[in-house]
Structure 1
Amino acid sequence: MDYLNYAKEYLMNTYNHLPVVFTHGEGCKLFDTDNKEYLDFTSGIGVMSLGYGNKNWIKAVEAQLEKVVHTSNIFLNIPVLELAKKFTEISNMTKVFFCNSGAEANEGAIKLARKYSFDKHGKARNTILTLKKSFHGRTITTLKAGGQEKLHKYFYPFTEGFKYAEANVEELEKSIDSSICAIMIEPIQGEGGINPLSEEFVHKVFGIAEKEDILVICDEIQCGIGRTGKIYGFNNYGVCPDIISTAKGLGGGLPIGAVLCNEKLNNTFEYGDHGSTFGGNPVCAAGALEVLNIISENSFLEEVSEKGKFVKEYFKSKNKKNILEVRGMGLMIGIEIEGEASRVQKKALQKGLLVLTAGPNVVRLLPPLIISKEELEAGLNTLYEIIEEE
């Protein structure tokens, strides 16, 4: 069957698909319709945190499939209750709302922040301050929340109530006024180029927020759930936000997102303020619980950190003609290059290596967290060769 033509004929033109169709995966490898093997440095954009075919995850999901697949949220189910307990405890938060994706999680976080501020400070305090180069989703509201002008086109009118600042202390201070109810940050900007925020800047955000009763929302959609070698990206800075949004790696491949809050916001949402038909799905919750059981072990997170150091050390030891910078934390790595990242991505695909991009000249690496150092080195050898040939 000519599956690539199926895509052209039946799918909307939302993705510029690479010319490959995958049929199955194992560990950190994917296989296409010709059974060609690919080493995966993408994990479905950070989703397949445990790789492909994890036995414990499959067992947990299959067991729940045989019990109950879905109920309305006017009823409770055991997996979501167990997940809520585990998730709030390891996050140092007090309550959680489950949804289906990162964009939905950010929508929920924005609503929660505005409701808190409305209740305490009145209607006029409703602006969310986000950062330039940020990305928070593709709904109308989360597109506007993202601090990239290229996102703010076609779909007018956009949701109001957002303001943008560069990720430096001086501009942050200039941007604070009486309308700001929350500051929303990605500790490491993902789609914006794999840009870790500076420690000075993050601590300034939290200092201003505490002084002015402004909420801090940490968007952990991409950098959370063990990706940086900590449960969350913000854990690398020694801070704790009021609201956390997360998704991607949480489900281990199944769609799930979450909004977590601290005690200050425990009772902000009242019955009917928010909801999600599929949020808290018992099958997705069962998978997510298994992910958390595995990645929350200290030894697992330490290994992720070590693998991240291994990647950086690899490039430090090389002569770099076309590599300008290697940045990131844990297994969230951006390689800024001379040349087009998309060309590198296509050449890597031909050689059996899957990588991502984050802007025109950044190659993005988000391998499964379980990847071995041997697999990392093999993929890095291929990638280095391609970049230096450009």
Structure 2
Amino acid sequence: MTFVGSRFGEREEELVDLDQEEIITQAGRCLMQTYGRLPLALVRGEGAYVWDAAGRRYLDFVSGLAVNGLGHCHPRVVEAIRAQAGVLMHCSNLYHIEPQVRLAGLLIENSALDRVFFCNSGAEAVETAIKLARKWAKKRHGPERYEIITALQSFHGRTLAAIAATGQPKYQQGFEPLPPGFSYVPFNDLDALRAAVGEHTCAVMLEPVQGEGGVNVAAPDYLPGVRALCDELGLLLILDEVQTGIGRTGRFFAHEHYGITPDIMSLAKSLGAGFPIGAALAREDVAAAFTPGDHASTFGGNPLACAAATAAVETILESGFLDQVTRTAGHFRRRLEELRARFPMIKEVRGLGMLIGAELNRDAAKAVQGRCQESGLLINAIGDRILRFLPPLTVTTAEVDAAVDILTTALAQESEG
């Protein structure tokens, strides 16, 4: 099937062999049914837009669930992948890898941490953080220190350890018995966290913004209070910045808004601007708990992934880039607040930077998401009452306004219906 002309700009190219209905049908036959997929087959993206197999264009305010931080097919990332693919795509971590060293240097230079471990996903980065925290604690305090406290409504990934760390039972059901050693406290409740610390506690792991939990933002004094508590009690502070890191909140890392530094941090999503890569960073004395043979990843930090991520990170770190993200995010937030004043069904607008949620006062999130999709806007419904917006960091105010216009119509239709 070939799409040409106005549907795909001036480019003429064969994109898919199957039409949209055939793709959806084949997916139902061939793929494990682990996703509640929407009836939409996307075949191309450029900037803030994607096209489906029928040639329809959509504003993409999901961005691959915060992965496409630079939008779709950013030229610098595409060129970096093309260039590296013709030189060396993979070797092994048995050897030194120049693109890996370059990316690690960039991350260290722009954080307060000292060592990097590369992997392929956010869940793997979280697994690395868990293993490192336990290894450090056993060396420092003895074998009885292994428990990690996390927050209710958190989300840390889909591996067994990551769902055990996740404070949402719906992700754990059916996979028991889960790895032990995790406990949960309410988010933004420092007293509850202090009360939960026991003789087995070695670390606290938190997201600065709980994205999958409903876009719940850490209160201004919460993370500083957690940092002080961890220092007082000799615990490690792990920050899961898989979704919030690499510019998503208008700072390179979300914890910069709070004036603190973690001991371990997990990254992924926007790090590769669409190419799979994850990373765990740690300060020197903590990272030293790992010795050769303790942890590994066959594909982690391969040259191709590191080349893509380096191009993405260099772009985001350019002068003025994050300032523009903050300005555009502020404009988006103001437009959403205008909608809240107009539509009583919007209970609250909250978020940080380009990670924004709108909580509804009734079970209408999926219906609003569907109406927006029909009109050319992709957004994400979390459960029944939360709309999550994750536009690319490169989105323009004009594109934000176009998205708000579509959302306005969807909310009006839902209010009337």
Q: TM-score, normalised by structure 1?
A: 0.98
Cα contact 1:27–1:54 (8 A) shared by 2: yes
Matched, 1:370 2:390: no
Asked whether the equivalents of residues 246 and 316 of structure 2 are also in contact (C-alpha less than 8 Å), the reply is: yes
The aligned amino acid for 2:225 is: K
1-structure distance, mates of 2:77, 2:173: 40
The percentage of aligned residue pairs carrying the same residue is 39
Q: Which residue of 1 aligns with 2:359?
A: 336
Quote the residue 2:65 is aligned against. 45
* 1:121 equivalent in structure 2: 141
Q: CA deviation at 1:335?
A: 0.6
TM superposition shift of 1:345: 1.3
1:144 matched to 2:167? The reply is no
CA distance in structure 2 between the aligned counterparts of 1:44 and 1:68, rounded to whole angstroms: 27
Is 1:194 the counterpart of 2:204? The answer is no
> In angstroms, what is the RMSD of aligned CA positions?
1.0
Which amino acid is the alignment partner of residue 231 of structure 1?
F
Matched residue of 2:116: which SS? strand
Deviation, 1:388, is 3.4
Task: Identify the residue that residue 294 of structure 2 maps to in structure 1.
Answer: 273
Helix, strand or coil at the partner of 2:87: coil
Distance in 2 separating the partners of 1:343 and 1:193: 17
CA distance in 2, matches of 1:81, 1:169: 38
Please give the alpha-carbon distance, in whole angstroms, between the structure 1 residues aligned to 2:413 and 2:360: 12
The one-letter code sitting in structure 2 at the alignment partner of 1:352 is: G
Q: What corresponds to 1:14 in structure 2?
A: 34
- Shift, 1:298, TM fit: 4.2
Helix, strand or coil at the partner of 2:293: coil
Asked whether 1:388 is paired with 2:378, we answer no
Match of 2:267 in 1: 246
- The answer on 1:231 being equivalent to 2:255 is no
Matched, 1:180 2:201: yes
| Matched ranges for 1:1-390 at <5 A | 1=18, 2-167=22-187, 168-318=189-339, 319-338=342-361, 339-390=363-414
Quote the Cα distance in structure 2 between the aligned partners of 1:283 and 1:219.
24
Q: 1:20 Cα shift?
A: 1.1
Which stretch of the first structure deviates more once superposed, 61-70 or 336-345?
336-345
Count of aligned pairs between the two proteins: 390
Please state how far the C-alpha of 1:152 moved relative to its aligned partner.
Answer: 2.1
Mapped partners of 2:69, 2:197: distance in 1: 37
For residues 148 and 287 of structure 2, what CA distance do their matches in structure 1 show? 20
Matched residue of 1:317: which SS?
helix
Contact 1:107 1:141 in 2 (8 A): yes
* Contact 2:343-2:411 at 8 Å conserved across structures: no
1:11, CA displacement in angstroms?
Answer: 0.7
Structure 1 portions without partners, runs of 5+: none
1:187 aligned partner, one-letter code: P
- CA distance in 2: counterparts of 1:306 and 1:158, whole angstroms: 43
**How many angstroms does 1:277 deviate by?**
0.3
Distance in structure 2 (CA, Å) of the matches to 1:248 and 1:39: 19
Q: Specify the SS of the correspondent of 2:103.
A: helix
Q: Distance in 1 between matches of 2:302 and 2:237?
A: 28
Deviation at 1:291, TM superposition (A): 0.7
Counterpart of 1:243, as a letter, is I
Aligned to 2:13: none
Instruction: For 2:215 and 2:396, locate their aligned partners in 1 and report how far apart those are by CA, in whole Å.
Output: 22
Deviates more, 1:260-269 or 1:114-123: 260-269
1:22-54 CA deviation, whole Å, 9 max, x = no partner? 111111100111111000001100001111121
Equivalent residue letter for 1:353: L
Residue 240 to residue 298, structure 1, CA distance change in 2 (3 Å)? farther
The answer to whether the 8 Å contact 1:246/1:259 transfers is: yes
The whole-number CA distance in structure 2 between the counterparts of 1:51 and 1:237 is 27
Partner Cα separation in structure 2 for residue 324 and residue 74 of structure 1:
53
Residues in 2 aligned to 1:349 and 1:48: alpha-carbon distance in whole angstroms: 19
Aligned-pair distance for 1:297? 2.6
Contact 2:116–2:281 (8 Å) recurs in 1: yes
- Give the secondary-structure state (helix, strand or coil) at the position aligned to 2:320: helix
Aligned mates of 1:361, 1:253 — CA distance in 2: 28
Question: Which deviates the most, 66-75 or 333-342?
Answer: 333-342
- 2:205 is aligned with what amino acid? M
The offset of 1:116, in angstroms, is 0.4
Deviates more, 1:167-176 or 1:209-218: 167-176
Q: Is the 8 A contact 1:69 1:281 kept in 2?
A: yes
Q: Deviations over 1:202-248 (max 9, x none)?
A: 12111110011100000001111100000111111110000010100
